[in-house]
Each structure stands twice: as C-alpha cells, then as structure tokens.
Structure 1
Amino acid sequence: MTSREGDQAVGNDVEPVRHCGFVGIVGRPNVGKSTLLNRLLGMKLSIVSRKPQTTRHRVLGVSTSGTTQIVYVDTPGMHGREPRALNRVLNRSADAVLRDMDVLLFVVDGQRWEADDDLVLEKLKTLSCPVIAVVNKVDRIPDKAALLPVLEKLSKRLDFAAIVPVSAAKGSNVEALEREILQRLPESDVFFYPEEQVTDRSERFLVAELIREQLMEALGQEVPYSATVSVEADAREEGRRRIHAVIWVERPGQKAIVIGQGGRQLKQIGQRARAGIETLLGEHVYLDLWVKVRSGWADDERALRTLGYDET
C-alpha cells in the first residue's frame, strides 16, 4: 500500500506522520532571541528587556499543533568577554545547546554585526545540523533595499539552510520562519512532551524571572548584573497565593539602590512584578519581596550553583 504525503500506513488505517524536534535559538546578547521565542510560542515565556544579557538560563518552550511539536530552546547570549564566573556559566549554558539540536536559529541584528557574532558563527561551522539565519529587527530599517547587501553578505559567511529576515517584536515574516523550521523537523513516533505542556521550567523559576525582569527595567546599568532572584516560599493562605522572594545583590550600596528612598523603588518593582505574576498564575498574589546581600555571588561558581545557574 502506498501512503499519501504526510501520512503513513499502519495496517488498514492511515495515521498522520508526526514531526517533533528541538530547535535551539542562539546568538550574541541583545539580538532579540527571547522576543523571538515568545513570538514563536504566541505567549510570554522568556523575560525581555532593553539591556544585553537579560537571559541567564536556557528556557525551553514547547509549541504543539496537530501532528507537530517544536521544542524551542532559548539561550543566554554568547559573548567573548568573561570577566566573571557568571559570564563563563552563561557561555557554557549556551554552548551546551549546540550539541543536541535538530535545527538551530542563528539570530543576528539586521543593522549591526559585532565581534560576538563572529564568535557564534565559528561555533556553528563545526555543526552538522541545519542552521537558519534569522535577521531580526528589520522593522528598524526604513529602506528595505538596504537589507539586500546585508543578506548577501550573510549568505557568504556560512552555508545556511535558509536566511529569513523578521521582526520578532512586530511579528513580521515570523510565519515564513516557522515554515522553514517545519521543513527541517524530523519525523517522530511520539511527542517529547505532553501536548498541554509549554515549558519544563517550574512556576518558581518563572516567578523569579518576572521579578528580575522588573529589576532590569527599573535600575541602571550596574545593579541588575549584580542581582539575582530566588523564590524562598510559595503557599496559599486565606484564599490567595503568598510568594516570598529574595533579591540578592553583592554590596550594601546596591541593596540601598534597589530599596530606594523610603522603600519606593522596591515597592514599584514589586507592584509591576506582581502584575506579571498574577497574569502567569491566573490568581491573586501577595508578593513579599526582600533584598539581601551575598557578597561576590557572581564570581563564585559554588554560589552560582546554589542559585540555579549550573546548567551544563
């Protein structure tokens, strides 16, 4: 019996062929990888901010539709400078994703190529899986004719499976990118995750990330990179969810900045984070937010492991 395209024959029945695979999203910091993940999933999963190196963890997002399941893996931005243990851990986390992906999305900024793009490109040259170049932020290029030399130059850097210009922020041409991914997704007898599952991350992790997102947005350049968040307790009391979280900083002066005069800065961070957390959890939340000092945590690999940064 001959099966029709997209189907396979089993006995006298015809069952649809399933396609399932892992798709890694890689690139240097601040090219829009997390924004792209959220757009591909149709929901906010990875936190985003205007500051580079917002993403510190691999974040897995599952998109299941009909006979297809795509497991996207967002990664920290790969970068050459490693002044602290945290930077080294972030690079190792991103490097680990390269090993076991079925497809890789190499995200670049359509307006700017940097040394860290070359660093990522060198790593991709050693791989055998298909690599799709995703030229992001094209909405910021008024003259689309200016894109042509960018795409032509990129095509000479590596034998990409495809080159797709997109705007992750606006959603432009993302459907074309999805089609390119689907063409390269392997067949599979089973899905890797239940159809209703959207991530392998716990609610505690997602809550901590939403708080850190507000830290990134509210504060200047230095403090957010010396701060991390851990959820210490999560319980239901008197009909509402009560979450106790700690913002860890490295120095007393940073603690004072996060708290702000009269506690106003911390209150604002908490209010904005709580709104996002309630949207995520679908219930009322009481957020109990504290700031504590843990000297040198970003330079201490043992401390990083206790704070959830060991992902190799």
Structure 2
Amino acid sequence: MDHKTKCGTIAIVGQPNVGKSTLLNYFVGTKLSITSRKAQTTRYQLLGIHSSPNTQYIFVDTPGYQLKHLNMLNRGLNKTVQQALKEVDVILFLIEPGVLDQTDLKILSMIPGETPVVLAINKVDLLKDKNKLLGYIKELDGIGRFQSIVPTSVKKSNNLEPLMQALKPFLPEQEFIFKEDELTDKNERFLAAEIVREKVFRLTGQELPYSIAVEIEKFEHVDGIRRIFAAIIVDRDTHKPMIIGKNGKRLKEISTTSRMDMEKLFGSKVWLEIWVKVQKGWADDQRALKSLGL
C-alpha cells in the first residue's frame, strides 16, 4: 500500500426509520444490518466495511436516536449513539426532506465541533415538487455545520456513489485496519440472531410491541452444516401466540425465511430450530439487557 491509502470511521446517524441500515447494507454490498419499518430496529453498534483499491470506509450503523418511549433499553441505545459521535472521523447524518426537527437538532448538538458532518437527504424520490429540494438544501446550508449536502434515495440506489466521494476527503491517511475481504466485525452467531429478529419484526407487523429479543443458545458446525438453536424472547405471555401464530404457521414462516437468509449470507446449508420463551420485563431489566449484549 502506498502513503495515499486512506482508512477511517464514519458513523451513520439519524432518527429511527430514515434508512441508516439500508444505506449501510448498500455500502457493504450485502445484507448485514437488519431493516424493518419498526422504529429502533437497530440495537447494536455494527461495523460495515467497504474496501476499494486505496480507501477503506468503516461504517458504524447506530440505533435511531429518539426523545420518547425512554425505557432502560432506549436510554442505553441513545447512549450508544452519543458514544459513536465522539469516536469517529466523520459523521454521515441522514435525514428525510423537511425541516430539521427537535430530535435532529439534538443529534447535531451532540456532535463535537471539530468533527466533519456530511448530510444526506434520503427519500428525495418521494418529493412531488423537486423545486422545493433546492430551497431546502439552501436552508440547510445556511446552518453552516455541513461540509457537504447530498440528496439521495437509498432505496433506489440514487446518488450514493457521490455520497461516498463526499466522505473520502475526511478519512485519515493510514493503512487499512481490516482485511480487504472483511465485511463486518461481528461473528456469525450475532448475524444469525439479527436475521431472526428482523423476520419477527417483519412478519408480526404492528401487532407485536418491539420489546422482543433473540438469543442464540447453540451454534455449531456439523459436516459442513451450520446447526443453529435460537430463542425468541418476549416480555409477556400474550406475546407468545402472536409469534407462534395459528397452528404454528407464523413461527414456521419466521424460521424458513430466517434460514434462507442465513444460507445466503453464510454460503452453506443451515439447520435452524427456533422457539419462543417469556422473560417478563426484560427491556427494563439491567441483568437481562447485559446478558443479551445490550
């Protein structure tokens, strides 16, 4: 590697549901971070790594910052965001078209003054009047805090290469931290749990509160097959049948779709067994959160 090799960390921050995890998955080129329409889907600080010939981008996907519904879990997630803001080379701040609201301004106020911020306005494809976008960009530029402002559509993969180029000047000159073929710092056990959790969110819709967790109780390699045993944890007895469904149909669908995603990600056959267990009040239980890595 020559002296012009660049490598640095970028925190992707913003409110719940602005597209942070989808953006991370695009940059990495595979599905690492789970996505759903439910707020606060992302709970863990996940690194996604994109390596090009002379540049390594280390993206940090953070939970959506929020000012309401603050149980112990959510307070912990907000703390994760605050920590990430202090430890990276550049911030990629993701918003939707419209004015910066109270939560956006709160996030902005927590970013250290010396840290560069690149603003991405996501979902611009949904704007009916494109002329409004120019006025909006001008208004945001007037804040004087953004080194670049890039309108994008993550879902349609529009304008995402220019976004990468906007981040590059702020990465320090140094050798790559990760190997060029590494995509994340997380292990397969973690990724398997996240895949199951995503399927629960997607297949239960709005009827199930988001206070569910997934614990991988056993993960083994046997004759080239990954054998994975997972428990879906809910905090009320009434939540259990919502996940299992009539005649076990929903749990079977969660299991089948999870297994298919795992096989695609891990590149091997997967034997997956999932069950549901009740652990009352886990989202406000310090010991429970710690045992689940939260």
Common fold, TM-score beyond 0.5? yes
Aligned length: 294
1:232 aligns with 2:241: no
Contact 1:245 1:288 in 2 (8 A): yes
CA distance in 2, matches of 1:258, 1:209: 16
Q: How far is the alpha carbon of 1:225 from its aligned partner?
A: 1.0
| 1:305 to 1:111, Cα distance in 2 relative to 1, 3 A | same
Distance 1:69 1:238 in 2: 35
Any idea what the Cα deviations from partners look like across 1:30-58, whole Å, max 9, x if unmatched?
A: 11111111112222111111222111111
Instruction: Tell me the equivalent position of 2:67.
Output: 80
Q: Which has the larger radius of gyration?
A: 1
**Does the alignment pair 1:181 with 2:167?**
yes
Superposed, 1:1-312 pairs within 5 Å as 15-111=2-98, 113-124=100-111, 126-188=112-174, 190-221=175-206, 223-237=208-222, 239-309=224-294
Question: Which whole-Å CA distance do the structure 1 matches of 2:104 and 2:89 have between them?
Answer: 21
Distance 2:141 2:18 in 1: 18
- Any stretches of 5+ residues in structure 1 without a counterpart? 1-6, 8-14
CA RMSD, 1 decimal: 1.6
CA distance in 1, matches of 2:28, 2:155: 13
Question: How far has the Cα of 1:16 moved from its partner?
Answer: 4.7
4+ aligned runs moved over 6 Å, structure 1: none
CA change 1:116–1:145 in 2 (3 A) is same
Q: Over residues 238-283 of structure 1, what are the superposed CA-to-partner deviations in whole Å (9 max), with x where a residue is unaligned?
A: 5522110000000111011111111111011111111111101111
Give % identity: 43
TM-score calculated relative to the size of structure 1: 0.90
> Could you tell me whether the CA contact under 8 Å between 1:85 and 1:298 is conserved in 2?
yes
Distance 1:54 1:135 in 2: 20
Counterpart code for 2:156: K
How far apart are 1:129 and its partner, in Å? 1.2
Q: Report the CA distance between 1:223 and its aligned residue.
A: 2.3
- Contact in 2 for aligned 1:215/1:224 (Cα 8 Å): no
